[in-house]
Amino acid sequence: MELEFTSRVDYIWALLPEIVLSIGAMVVLLVGVFREADDDPAAGDASPLGWISLIALAAAAMANGWLTGIPVASASPMVAVDPFRLFANWIFLGGAGLTILLSFPYVTRQRLQAGEFYTLILLCTVGMMFMASARDLLLLFLGVETMSIAAYVLTAFNRRDRRSSEAGLKYFLLGAFSSAFLLYGIALTWGATGTTNLLEIGEAVAGGAAVPGLIMAGMGLLAIGFAFKVAAVPFHMWTPDVYEGAPTPSTAFMAATVKAASFVAFARLFMEAFPALYDSWSTVFWWLAALTMIIPNVVALSQSNVKRMLAYSSIAHGGYLLVALTAANEMATAGLLFYLLVYSIMNIGALAVVMVASGHAEERLQIGDYAGFGWAQPMLGVVFTIFLLSLAGFPGTGGFMAKIYLLQGAAESELWTLAVVLALATVVSYYYYLRVAWYMWMRPAAPDLTHEEVWVPLPMRMGLVASAAILIFLGIFPGGIIDLARAATHGFFLAGVLP
Amino acid sequence: MTEPSRIAPEALEAVAQTGSGFNPLLPGLILLLPLLGFLVNGILALIAGSREGNVLRSAALAEPDSEEERVDLQHKEDAPRRATHTLPTWVGPGVMLGAFILTTLNFLRMLGSGLQDPTVITYWSWMPTGTLAVDAAIQLDQLSMIMMMVITGVGFLIHVFSVGYMKEDPGYPRYFAYLNLFVFFMLVLVTGANFPVMFVGWEGVGLCSYLLIGFWFQDREKADAGKKAFIVNRVGDFGLLMAMFILFATFGTLNYQEIFAAAPTTLVYGGGVVTAITLFLLLGATGKSAQIPLFVWLPDAMAGPTPVSALIHAATMVTAGVYLVARASVLFALAPVSAAAVATIGALTALFAATIALKQYDIKKVLAYSTISQLGFMFMAVGVGAYAAGVFHLMTHAFFKALLFLGAGAVIHSMHHALHATHKDWDAQDMRNMGGLRRHMKWTWVFMWIATLAIAGIWPFAGFFSKDEIIWYVGTSAPFGPLYAVLWGMAVVTAALTAFYMARMMILTFHGPNRTGEAEGKHLHEAPLTMTIPLGILALLSIFGGWINVPQSVRDSFFGGFGMLPMSSWLDEWMAPVTAAADAIRLEQLGAYAYQSPVGGGHVTWGFIATGLAMAVVLAATWYFRSKDVPTAVEQGAPRSGFGKILYNKWYVDELYDRIIVRPVVGISRFSWRVVDRVLIDGTVNAVGAVSKGTGWFGSLFQTGQLNTYAFILALGALALLGVLIF
């Protein structure tokens, strides 16, 4: 079989992963409704619906794998079927799967409506997959909104917790604000070039057919919209509030996977539509990257709330990823994909430990609450330490390799200052990550703490151990994955445009 | 596209480029054994730790205030009889013995092979992609082999000592887990065939060091000491990262072999690039090796168990900086400014730390400052291009300083048991509370005197040969400028100070009347055999360890028994293949110059002067302190005035750093946090709570200005971004 995009059926094949996952989301929703209808005492247990969701994700992953093997005869105007998209899909599906797997005890304990919660995660993932595949500004916008609206609801999901509702509302209002920027940018870009197709925009800009001032304004507004989505400084103000207030599985999902999707779409948009304007936008990205690396790292130093610290940490990681966008060469783009993969695993893993350690009403989030945690819960302590080391970029972990690839990418584009800032930021970040590990192992538990009551079911244990093992593996044998990531960037970076 | 790096089973088998008949014997196993020990002990520690979580908690509540008090809390717990406490005794030292035997076998093989070029053993392709290709590879050459011998040999002895010292500690398996892991990373550091692999070891030993400094973490002060070491070393690590970055940008590779081969042609002699690289390397080295300006963490690191101080903070990890300079000798030879900086920092640190050691009363603090001072000597050596001399002193120092620390550990052990027996709350580490211990601990006394004579530089002990060789080399560099004459003078003064403070330490501890107290004196006793036997072996090494590197003229003189004693200049010849490239550059750039003693005459004259000076100082100090009436710590307290007060307070460097660095950084972070967090977020969240009672929180959210602020900043950012793009 070959995709030619001559008939509509080809579009169905090209969007098979998205379609499969959408159907899966509906199934989860329906099953959830029926489970709530009968008065089964076991209805509170989130894991059956979780497993169905995981099956849906697995089916979508299979569709994604199938699509990887399908040759494409001619490019589609709307939907990209390229390795970049398919690799990104693995990250989204994996991130969603990991979030769901690790959230069973939380969702059960907090009495969240599992059916709706997991449905939203799946639909959010569908939006992400559309973002990765969109080769048209309008499709891109649809993807962004599908993802974002699901994310707003996921943030506000715990109706019993006022922090959650407040965070959801804040996120929604500011998100709407940024969507307006995005939409206006799309309109201006269309006005300047007469098309919404990324490749055609690219040709128009390169050929000088675009209206000069208008295209700059359009591009700038698009950049602002995405800078908000990836929480780049100074468009990050919402992030600490939202990440701290949201139910922790939502935080994990947003900080890792939602951010990954935004970066993937950001990269495709600027590399396909505006390669000719690299000189202009790389300056902007340079500043965004520098600010986003410096400020959150400094602020994170004085955080005593672990969830909030991880929120600032996730902003800082966005800064490192912006370095890859600024460099925009093959190595950097492959590094971006590799980083997103590693980052999703370690960030979801770290927040998953926070989920179970924070107590019934998420009341134990202070760093002091982690004193002696490692000795009371050795398995959680060890994996959490690995996640933190990897987040810090400790040699031998996936996080270290990811940073090395970004540094290499920066070096190849001769972004020396950014590389130095990245190295300095990493050095600073060691402090606040390892401080948590320090408390876990090197501080005696307060007499009134009851770490022993932490409930971690077997699937979650296995998920955490597997995540930690993958991080170590990627630190020692990164070769296979980075080669895949490089293959995924084939023909998809600005090598030709660079000086 | 590069080759996809599937990890096939055969890839894990070593691919050795065997050069001149050197056939390494399972070198990977040397590294794997300690790692295995870590895994086994680590699992035992987790089992024991989770079981004893409540014990730790009760220990924290009781707030014991000294090292061994915690140990005593555990006496009733019959912990030592459990499997988690008996297994580490065999696993911990066992893997070290295995590693040491394997290293020795490899050493003998290398010795017999006449190896010239390093043997690189590649295990797998670690970072196979793009322009940066880095293998997980180790490099066996004369330098790494010497380091491995020291690490596994001295390491093994210290592991054995630890069995006696730590046996009763509830964290016994955890202790051996950390110690084994440390050895693994230290071996990675010295065997890595490229900078990234070395960096893995570099970071790893740091991590283990913090863990072990804060080992008795129930004590907040001790845990904070680990934190200080951690923060100070961040600065050094940044230097190392920057150096690697510039190296990569310049050479496109990070492999030692490629860089050092290309350096003489790629880099301009004395040029900006090589100077920048080496200065950043030096920054990294000063962090790890506790040199000015980053030395402040090492004295605090003494909060860890004493065998840890011996292994990590005296014999091995802190010498990593010296190793780094010796490893990158080609680069330092190309950068005369940086090399001079290395020597100058070394001399300054040596003198500075020696003055502080004069007035410390804590026996471990004396040894800590002494270590910093001796590391300064090593820096001087590698700074003036005498790489073999630096490595020589590194080795002999590992012997006698490990001996001194372990001996101090035995003393503290004994003191503590005595003080504990009568529930006296005196400081077990304060030398003013000791005195006359030689009557109770004869062997420890003898061994420590041997080490003291060695460090003081008195013939025929090891330190005489290694330290005076360094002073000699610094002095012979005088033709390159007056700087070296000054450094030489500082080195000589430092050597005299060393003899003085060491003699002071010995007299206060072992001689004169016992000041511990009537009742306590009865409880002072010699350490068990597991502790004294390692001391004895180290004492032998402290005597004869120096005989392996003696110049011909000295061997033929009185100092070599007129050729009768079994001495040789083996180490110089052994190290020649490693230092050849750097020596060639120095010869080409600086020209040949005859080594002659700065005070006229040859090696032998200088030897008489040096050992005579040291002996005179030791005798003078002995006479002075023996005739002095020493008050106990309680009677005297801290010096309250005069120069002694300044030295006692370590020249107030900690206070200075706190004032000019720590407080501003904390201030900036707090400020950012207050502006971004407190005022805009926490403040408004509270306001939401207050206002929402009346108006409903939805409305209040808009009225508080919080969202408005966010939107306002967002809009400002948008304007700035568009401004940059359009104008």
The model's pLDDT over B401-428, given as tens digits with 9 standing for 90+, comes to: 999 999 999 998 888 888 888 877 788 8
**Whether residue B331 has pLDDT greater than 90:** yes
Residue B16's Cβ-side half-sphere holds a number of Cα atoms within 13 Å equal to 19
Residue type, B351: L
pLDDT for the residue B50: 67
A222, A230 in Cβ contact below 8 A?
no
Of residues A320, A329, A328, A466, the one with CA closest to residue A401? A320
Mean of pLDDT values over B592-604: 57
Cα separation, B48 vs B85, whole angstroms? 8
Helix H, strand E, coil C: the string for B180-221 is: HHHHHHHHHHHHECEHHHHHHHHHHHHHHHHHHHCCCCCCHH
Query: Residue B573: CB partners within 8 Å, gap ≥ 6?
Result: none
User: How many Å is the maximal CA-CA distance in chain B?
Assistant: 100
**Cβ separation of A284 and B725 shorter than 8 Å?**
yes
- Listed by number, the residues of chain A in 92-151 with a beta carbon closer than 8 Å to a beta carbon of chain B are none
Mean of pLDDT values over B438-464: 90
Q: Which two tokens stand for residue B262?
A: 């290309």
pLDDT for the residue A226: 95
Mean pLDDT value across chain B: 81
Query: Residue A72: CB partners within 8 Å, gap ≥ 6?
Result: A2, A3, A81, A82
> Which of A35-44, A72-81, A435-444, B500-509 shows the highest mean pLDDT?
B500-509
Cα separation, B213 vs B211, whole angstroms? 6
Closest partner CB to B238 (pick from A177, A424, A444): A424
pLDDT for the residue B567: 83
**Cβ separation of A431 and B234 shorter than 8 Å?**
yes
**Whether residue B651 has pLDDT greater than 90:** no
**Whether residue A269 has pLDDT greater than 90:** yes
Contacts 24+ apart (CB under 8 A), B96-99: B96/B33, B96/B34, B96/B37, B96/B152, B96/B155, B96/B156, B96/B159, B96/B180, B96/B183, B97/B156, B98/B29, B98/B33, B99/B29, B99/B30, B99/B33, B99/B34, B99/B152, B99/B155, B99/B156, B99/B183, B99/B187
**Whether residue B352 has pLDDT greater than 50:** yes
Confidence of residue B76 (pLDDT cuts 50, 70, 90): very low
Q: Which residue of A has its CA nearest to B225?
A: A442
3-state secondary structure of B120: strand
* CB pairs < 8 Å spanning A and B: 218
Confidence of residue B635 (pLDDT cuts 50, 70, 90): confident
Q: Which two tokens stand for residue B277?
A: 């690289």
pLDDT for the residue B403: 93
Confidence of residue B706 (pLDDT cuts 50, 70, 90): low
pLDDT for the residue A493: 59
| B430 phi and psi angles, rounded to 5 deg | -85, 120
Chain B: give the shortest CA distance to residue A217, in Å. Answer: 7
pLDDT for the residue B619: 87
> Which of A27-36, A39-48, A127-136, B111-120 shows the highest mean pLDDT?
A127-136
B255 or A73, higher pLDDT: B255
Task: Report the 10 Å Cβ neighbour count for B663.
Answer: 11
pLDDT for the residue B620: 87
Mean of pLDDT values over B20-44: 88
Confidence of residue B46 (pLDDT cuts 50, 70, 90): confident
Report the percent of chain A where pLDDT is more than 90.
Answer: 52
**Cβ separation of B245 and A480 shorter than 8 Å?**
no
Confidence of residue B295 (pLDDT cuts 50, 70, 90): confident
**Whether residue A487 has pLDDT greater than 90:** no
Of residues B22, B327, B11, the one with CA closest to residue B191? B327
Confidence of residue B16 (pLDDT cuts 50, 70, 90): very low
Closest partner CB to A408 (pick from B60, B124, B131): B131
In chain B, which residues have their Cβ closer than 8 Å to the Cβ of A446? 57
**Cβ separation of B217 and A444 shorter than 8 Å?**
yes
Output b/e per residue, A291-330; b: 16+ Cβ within 10 A: bbbbbbbbbbbbbeebbbbbbbbbbbbbbbbbbbbbbbbb
Residue type, B645: K
Most A CBs within 10 A among B209, B216, B669, B679, hence the mutation to make, goes to B669
Query: Residue B57: CB partners within 8 Å, gap ≥ 6?
Result: A372, A444, A445, A446, A447
Give the containing element (helix H, strand E) for B39: helix B27-51
**Cβ separation of B721 and A220 shorter than 8 Å?**
yes
Confidence of residue B399 (pLDDT cuts 50, 70, 90): very high
Q: Is A228 touching B (CB cutoff 8 A)? A: yes
pLDDT for the residue B694: 42
Confidence of residue A234 (pLDDT cuts 50, 70, 90): confident
Q: Is A483 touching B (CB cutoff 8 A)? A: yes
pLDDT for the residue B115: 81
Cα separation, B702 vs B358, whole angstroms? 66
Cα separation, B268 vs B376, whole angstroms? 28
**Cβ separation of B722 and A224 shorter than 8 Å?**
yes
Chain A: give the shortest CA distance to residue B709, in Å. Answer: 9
Q: E strands, A385-427, where?
A: none
pLDDT tens profile B239-280: 998 899 889 888 888 999 999 999 988 888 888 899 999 999
Report the percent of chain B where pLDDT is more than 90.
Answer: 33
- B262 sits in the region (left: phi over 0; alpha: psi -120 to 50; else beta) called alpha
pLDDT for the residue A47: 82
**Whether residue B673 has pLDDT greater than 90:** no
Chain A: give the shortest CA distance to residue B234, in Å. Answer: 6
**Whether residue A33 has pLDDT greater than 60:** yes
Q: Which two tokens stand for residue A146?
A: 């599908």
Chain A: give the shortest CA distance to residue B712, in Å. Answer: 10
pLDDT for the residue B528: 82
pLDDT for the residue B351: 94
Q: How far is CA A351 from CA A114, A345, A432, A453, in A?
A: 19, 10, 15, 18
Confidence of residue B74 (pLDDT cuts 50, 70, 90): very low
Mean pLDDT value across chain A: 88
Q: Is A166 touching B (CB cutoff 8 A)? A: yes
In chain B, which residues have their Cβ closer than 8 Å to the Cβ of A442? 211, 214, 217, 223, 226
pLDDT for the residue B144: 93
Closest partner CB to A216 (pick from B2, B711, B725): B725
Q: Which residue of B has its CA nearest to A429?
A: B234
pLDDT for the residue A439: 87
Helix H, strand E, coil C: the string for B75-117 is: HHHCHHHCHHHHHHHHHHHHHHHHHHHHHHHHHHHHHHHCCCC
Residue B314's Cβ-side half-sphere holds a number of Cα atoms within 13 Å equal to 33
User: How many Å is the maximal CA-CA distance in chain A?
Assistant: 72
Closest partner CB to A219 (pick from B1, B697, B725): B725
In chain A, which residues have their Cβ closer than 8 Å to the Cβ of B1? 483, 486-487
Cα separation, B701 vs A241, whole angstroms? 13
Give the containing element (helix H, strand E) for B266: helix B256-266
3-state secondary structure of B255: strand
Mean of pLDDT values over B180-190: 95
Mean of pLDDT values over B494-502: 93
- Listed by number, the residues of chain A in 308-347 with a beta carbon closer than 8 Å to a beta carbon of chain B are 330-331, 334
From B166-170, B302-306, B710-714, the region with the lowest mean pLDDT: B710-714
Confidence of residue A213 (pLDDT cuts 50, 70, 90): confident
Closest partner CB to B669 (pick from A213, A299, A430): A299
Residue B382's Cβ-side half-sphere holds a number of Cα atoms within 13 Å equal to 33
**Cβ separation of A173 and B707 shorter than 8 Å?**
yes
A43 or B282, higher pLDDT: B282
Cα separation, B689 vs B587, whole angstroms? 77
Cα separation, B350 vs B229, whole angstroms? 20
**Whether residue B599 has pLDDT greater than 60:** no
Chain B: give the shortest CA distance to residue A307, in Å. Answer: 14
Mean of pLDDT values over B364-368: 92
pLDDT for the residue A499: 37
**Whether residue B598 has pLDDT greater than 80:** no
Length of chain A: 499
Confidence of residue B60 (pLDDT cuts 50, 70, 90): very low
- B503 sits in the region (left: phi over 0; alpha: psi -120 to 50; else beta) called alpha
pLDDT for the residue A385: 94
pLDDT for the residue B701: 43
In chain A, which residues have their Cβ closer than 8 Å to the Cβ of B718? 181, 221, 224, 235
In chain A, which residues have their Cβ closer than 8 Å to the Cβ of B198? none
**Whether residue B7 has pLDDT greater than 90:** no
pLDDT for the residue B301: 85
Closest partner CB to B5 (pick from A178, A223, A480): A480
Rg of chain A on CA atoms, in Å: 22
pLDDT for the residue B260: 92
Q: How far is CA B708 from CA A308, B530, B715, in A?
A: 22, 71, 10
| A449 phi and psi angles, rounded to 5 deg | -75, 145
Give the containing element (helix H, strand E) for B138: strand B134-140
pLDDT for the residue B51: 65
Global pTM reads 0.85
Cα separation, B56 vs B74, whole angstroms? 10
Mean of pLDDT values over B282-287: 93
A112 or B182, higher pLDDT: B182
Sheet of B15-16: strand order equals B15-16, B119-127, B134-140
Cα-based angle B650, B498, B599 (whole degrees, multiple of 5): 125
B688, B701 in Cβ contact below 8 A?
yes
Closest partner CB to B673 (pick from A299, A375, A395): A299
A437, A388 in Cβ contact below 8 A?
yes
Output b/e per residue, A352-366; b: 16+ Cβ within 10 A: bbbbbbbeeebebbb
pLDDT for the residue A39: 54
Confidence of residue B52 (pLDDT cuts 50, 70, 90): low
Mean of pLDDT values over A313-342: 93
